[in-house]
Structure 1
Amino acid sequence: MTSKRRVTADERLLDFRHREEWKQKAAWRVMKIQSEFVGGFDTLEAAELGDAIGVYGSARTEVDSEEYKLGVELGRKLGEAGFSVITGGGPGAMEAANRGAVEAGVKSIGLGIELPFEQGINEFVDIQLDFHYFFVRKVMFLKYSQGFCALPGGYGTMDELFESLTLVQTEKVGKFPIALIGIDYWGGLVDWLRSSMVQQRKINDKDVDLLLVTDDLDEAIAHMQQAG
């Protein structure tokens, strides 16, 4: 049976087809956005996460895949290094990293997002927040993470990756290490950055150097520790 598609809060805010509805309820929706910020800050401050690393990756990663095993190992190694683990709270690579964090005995955080179709929070999250707005969720990721590790992922992972890169490049955040896990998966992207963006002077060599691309999880963990 096909799940019925829901209209999300993000869609009501951004899609021009809902413009009149927004105008009629603008004050209420602004208060709703404000409440998400306040609720997120209150919950994560109270959690006393300490040093935490955000882990991105595909919700489509299969549980019996090598990528999933890699995500579990990454979450566990981050935990063993003393980091809490923050993910989007969904299935796939996010679940894997949360699972590894639980195995290491550290705090496992899931920042969920309302989507048109149900996704749900994975069972390995012990601190859960659910957001209606992507931009509120992104602020929580960036405020409470000291660095990011990106497992193979799709558009959502790319969105989060390049937003964080932009903030580092423009010095909106301080020392903020970013590691791309999987040379075969990410190598072509980084090659393109150098051959196109750098070559055409849209970015500098040092901007590409903001990314560590590796298959070695210990190297990724060491890179995250540079945030301290």
Structure 2
Amino acid sequence: MDTSNSDRPIVCIFGSYSPKPGEPLFELAYAIGQALAKAGFTVCNGGYDGTMLASAQGAKEAGRATIGVTCSIFGGYRGQTLKANHFIDREIHHDNVLARIDAMIRMSRGYVVLEGGTGTLSEFGLLWEYVAKGLVEPGPSSLSVISGNRWLSGSFPSAPGTAGTFTALIPRNRSP
């Protein structure tokens, strides 16, 4: 089943729901979405606010398609009904969070993981597992970029037989 509705390669951006316009992480996500779109990629993300809205806005303003993968579990999150943001061209909806993350990983050939909370950590964790077990197609387009000002760098092994390592930045313990 074609989940992308696009003949362009897809890059998925994972990141926080919280950043607002003008905040550094929002602006970074916008710039990444725009740069990916200008390079010819379709941008995929979780479809909601924060870095998801920013990256989709950047891609749309650069003239490219966007995909938002949403989930029923977030239907009443934080006391409000979450819907795909208005920069999403195609919404793909799942009933559980693992199916949502799996869909984003499998449809994409590249990944950007920005600073975030537990949701982003879950996305990164499943992505790391897929890469380590060789469950995503290796190749020059399946690279990952992780960023965040409260993150530490580290390197994790890729699947056997693939070149290089999966480089990541892991969140530091935050002060209460």
* Alignment of 1:133 onto 2:96: yes
Offset of residue 91 of structure 1: 0.3
Q: Percent identity?
A: 24
Gaps of 5+ in 2: 159-163, 170-176
Q: Are 1:171 and 2:137 counterparts?
A: no
The counterpart of 1:105, out of the listed 57, 63, 73, is 63
Give the alignment partner of residue 209 of structure 1, picking from 165, 170, 173.
165
Instruction: State yes or no: 1:85 paired with 2:76.
Output: no
Residue type of the alignment partner of 1:142: I
SS in 1 for 2:157: helix
Is the Cα–Cα contact under 8 Å of residues 65 and 89 in structure 2 kept in the other structure? Answer: yes
Letter in 2 for 1:178: S
Kindly indicate which of the two structures has a greater share of residues assigned to helix.
1
Q: Offset of 1:151 from its aligned partner?
A: 1.4
Q: 1:54–1:67: structure 2 CA closer, same or farther, 3 Å change rule? A: same
8 Å contact kept, 1:49–1:107? no
Distance in 2 of aligned mates of 1:161 and 1:49 = 26
- Conserved? CA contact 1:113–1:134, under 8 Å: yes
CA distance in 1, matches of 2:132, 2:41: 24
- What is the count of residue pairs matched by the alignment? 156
Aligned pairs (5 A) from 1:1-228: 41=1, 44=3, 47-114=5-72, 115=74, 116-117=76-77, 118-175=81-138, 176-182=142-148, 184-187=149-152, 190=153, 206=157, 209-211=165-167
**How far apart are the structure 2 equivalents of 1:171 and 1:155?**
24
The structure-2 alpha-carbon separation of the partners of 1:128 and 1:160, relative to structure 1 and needing over 3 Å to count, comes to same
Deviates more, 1:165-174 or 1:72-81: 165-174
* Distance in 1 (alpha carbons) for counterparts of 2:34 and 2:7: 16
Deviating 4+ runs (over 3 angstroms): 205-209
TM-score, length-normalised on structure 2? 0.80
Structure number, greater radius of gyration = 1
Name whichever structure is richer in strand by fraction.
2
Unmatched tracts of structure 1, length 5 or more = 1-40, 195-204, 214-228
For the 8 Å contact 2:6–2:42, the answer to whether it is kept is: no
Name 1:224's counterpart in structure 2: none
